[in-house]
Copies of this chain bind each other. A is one copy, B any other.
Amino acid sequence: MAGRVVRRRWLRHPAQTIVVGFAAAILVGTALLMLPVASTGAGGTDFVTALFTSTSAVCVTGLVVVDTGTYWSAFGEVVILALIQLGGLGIMTFASVVGLLISRRMGLRTRLSAAAETKAVGLADIRKVVTGVVKVSLLVEAAVALVLGLRFWLAYDESPGRAAYLGVFHSISAFNNAGFALWADSLIGYVTDPWVCVPIALAVIFGGLGFPVWFELRREIRRPKVWSMHTKMTISVTVGLLVLGTVFMTASEWSNPDTLGAFSAPQRVFVGFFHAVMPRTAGFNSLDVGAMNDSTLLGTVVLMFIGGGSAGTAGGIKVTTFILLFFVIYAEVRGESRVNAFDRQVDDRVIRQALTVALLSVGAVVGSTLLLMSLTGLPLGPVLFEATSAFATVGLSTGITYDLPTSADLVLVGLMFLGRLGPITLVSALALRERRRHYELPEGRPIIG
């Protein structure tokens, strides 16, 4: 069932395809959002505001220059929701297909297909990936929407229709790690409500694991030992970062009267957990980010930069990229000649890809922070936070987004686009050029970027 071998242009140049596709979606979204019917005020929306919002939606970032719930009409909100869903499906499908292509090229057997012998990727494979991605997305989104809708209807006196709409909107926004909310203060109004925060956090975490992990979990959830290196890495780093992040957030904001200080001890841990989930890379907030300590913000920057799993809806350099660099250091410090991780050795090319993605990402964030500081005159803390949030498609902000000059808005637009597509297109371009080589030992091949 490997099917007809696809020799079409878009598979030979996948990076070009996704860049053009995303750019087209953003421009169509911009045009739609500029229509007078898309906003509640009189007249249409200006180009930069529409472009910013459309880019933020397609790149599932969630930074906003106008309040989503009041500025846009129902039509505008549905456009945004459609752009989020399109952007989320697009990046997941693309990244999964690229992962499949890379595995095939390297002659690796993966669980995404039984026919590891075939080196080409067929239409049947792609169809399988696309239907798989769509199925999982709709299933998770429906479940979360149901819980949220019931909660908004029963506990917050919303009409059934409005509650359903709120449920669907925030479920899609959460699963796709978009972080758009219809309340001006995001989820601050629901900070201690587990029926709202838990489903959203679970959708965010699940969306951020990525398709290859879902696919493997579905088949082998009871047998962690047979998981691929990629799945083992993604799961363990995700769990590790959630635990560490919760401890850090809770401890760092514990006695801040403007954030966690207002709550009981168990509530502080609960909210701390929520704010350990959101930087990776959903971008909802149930606390005022602008009121957090500077050290909390720096810790959040680190979590945002790392991001979530590959081939999911999360952004950042990805947990596999991050942890690979740790394994390199570990191997080096121990004097090993090969880098091993989870009982597999890691190819030097993969290490160099991880290094390339991480360093170019650092360069993008530092460079754009410098540029944004000189454009705005704002201090380092909030600007670094904003740049990292845009690059890692997180959407958290200390609150400066509303008041930025147009030039800074355009820098953020570029950064969101670069952050969403840069790492994955870079890795696909790098990896698909590799010649097949012979390995003396079985090799694990985590997806980078």
Contact = CB atoms under 8 A, between A and B. Distances in A.
Interface of A: 252, 293-295, 297-299, 302, 325, 328-329, 331-333, 335, 337, 339, 348-349, 351-353, 355-356, 359-360, 366, 369-370, 373-374, 377-381, 383-384, 426, 430, 433-434
A245 B299 CA distance: 29
A380 B430 contact: no
A324 B335 CA distance: 20
A328 B404 CA distance: 36
A333 B329 CA distance: 22
A380 B294 contact: yes
Contacts of A373: 293-295, 298
A290 to B, nearest CB: 13
A254 to B, nearest CB: 11
Among A325, A333, A360, A380, find the residue whose CB has the most chain B CB atoms closer than 10 A.
Answer: A380
18 contacts: A293-B373, A293-B377, A294-B373, A294-B377, A295-B374, A297-B380, A298-B366, A298-B373, A325-B359, A328-B355, A329-B356, A332-B353, A333-B356, A337-B349, A351-B352, A380-B380, A380-B381, A380-B384
Assembly stoichiometry (copies):
2
Nearest to A329: B356
B302 A366 contact: yes
B430 A335 contact: yes
Contact of A379 (B252, B294, B337, B426): B294
Given A328-B356, A329-B356, A352-B331, A380 B433 contact: no
Main secondary structure of the interface of A (DSSP, over half): helix
A115 B373 CA distance: 54
Contacts of A360: 329
Given A298-B366, A333-B356, 12 more contacts: A252-B374, A293-B374, A295-B373, A299-B370, A325-B359, A329-B359, A335-B430, A351-B352, A355-B355, A379-B381, A380-B380, A381-B381
A299 B380 CA distance: 11
Given A293-B373, A380-B294, A380-B381, A352 B366 contact: no
B298 A335 contact: no
Contacts of A293: 373-374, 377
A355 B366 CA distance: 18
Query: Taking each of A295, A381, A433, which has the highest tally of chain B beta carbons within 10 Å of its own beta carbon?
Result: A295
Contacts of A339: 352
Nearest 8 CB-CB pairs, A to B?
A380-B381, A295-B373, A295-B374, A335-B433, A332-B356, A332-B352, A329-B356, A294-B373
Nearest to A353: B332
Contacts of A349: 332, 337
A332 B430 contact: yes
Contacts of A359: 325, 329
A369 B331 contact: no
A333 B349 CA distance: 11
